[in-house]
Amino acid sequence: MNRTTKEEGNQSNILATVEEQKTNGMNNSEQLQDVHVYRMRLPDHDCPWGKRAVDLLEARGIAYQDHALTSQEAVDSLKQRWDVATTPQIFSGDHRIGGYSELATLLGEKPEKADVSYIPVIAVFGTTLLMALVMQESGLRQFMGFSICALSMLKLMDVESFAASFIKYDLVSQRWPTWARIYPGVELLIGLGFLMTPPPTLAGWAALVIALPGMWSVIKAIYIDKLALNCACVGGNTKTPLGIISFTEYAILAAMGLITALNLMA
């Protein structure tokens, strides 16, 4: 009897907590006045968390003023003024609520998380590693060759989708948009070059030419501009986030390019 009573009491406490959170969310919803949302809406990138924030406000019937930050200068100015690292930033009158997660918590909602998947990356590099191990000779060179060819194949399956995703962070493509469309073909030729015996030095220099700007593009997008983007390295429709994997891919490509260009495997 005592055990049953205790369990019923725990369940009642849990239910009471849930109801209290819902009530607090409703009360907070009613208390939010003069709401302003500042969110990144660049020509090549519409911040998904800003979209989630305004969707939540609309779902709750909360009136708000939407302030689109349409240039990187406007984004940087907002971050500097309020000493924050990300957008969106939401305000109620003179009070800064914070970003999407803080708004959702304030309204008694569980914040959504980024939809992330590393399966494509694992599948590509796992398969190409096994292929290189089976071949047994020049394992590193063949692994890189197979990997680059596989990655280029995924991009070539939907070049337009890849280009749309790639141009959001690749600095060369932003200056010369055609580069985003020919990049997969160039990458394929480099991969085939690595698989040749001996690999031509031209393949090594070409790898360096695309890898070094690529590394800087990733660093700038993630650590300077603080963009939340998906990586186009495995195609344009994946959920793999732009981050350390993207940088590592370019770094390995640069290392292999240097080795090939200088004939260090000879």
198-223 pLDDT, tens per residue? 889 999 999 999 999 999 999 988 88
Burial class (CB in 10 A: 0-12, 13-18, 19+), 53: buried
Q: Is the pLDDT of residue 14 over 50?
A: no
Structure tokens that stand for 223 in this block: 């650590």
Mean pLDDT computed over 147-166:
89
- At residue 91, the 3 state secondary structure works out as strand
CATH architecture of the domain covering 2-106: 3-Layer(aba) Sandwich (3.40)
Would you list the domain boundaries of the chain? 2-106, 119-261
Q: Is the pLDDT of residue 15 over 60?
A: no
Its pTM surpasses 0.85: no
Higher pLDDT, 235 or 193: 193
Give the span between the Cα atoms of 184 and 176, in whole angstroms.
15
Give the span between the Cα atoms of 45 and 24, in whole angstroms.
34
Higher pLDDT, 117 or 155: 155
Q: Is residue 49 within 8 Å of residue 88, measured between CB atoms?
A: yes
Using one digit for the tens of pLDDT, what is the confidence trace for 109-118? 888 776 667 7
